[in-house]
Structure 1
Amino acid sequence: MPNPYRITLSEMLKKQGRSFEDMVSAVMFGDENATALCEEQCEVEPDGTCPHGCPSFMRAAGII
């Protein structure tokens, strides 16, 4: 059964209103947590998953 909270990377970027490159830079070189691919827009560690079981966008993209 698919996770009802999980969204696509494109959906997450649209909700955030930022580019993928901007978000990666903010996590890697700034002090932001990664956003999970979650309908609830959970913040997680770059290599983590949220309480709903959704991975960070960086983990899902294969960066980490």
Structure 2
Amino acid sequence: MSKSDTLNRSTQGTFIPKYGKAMKTIGVRVPTDVAEKLELLPNKTEYLRQLLIEASQKVGTELN
């Protein structure tokens, strides 16, 4: 999601989650050279979110 995107609000005025469910923040540490490359991405947060979602889906299918 770019900075110009806006989230929809519910009738109570709260934000509706982009992916239709509650989100949780996780943190990871990466080598400095990797972090420097990621910082150059214009949509770093959304890019990383998509990578994590795809990876978790792949891991989920491997565990079943």
Normalised TM-score (structure 2): 0.23
Larger helix proportion of the pair: 2
Larger strand proportion of the pair: 1
Normalised TM-score (structure 1): 0.23
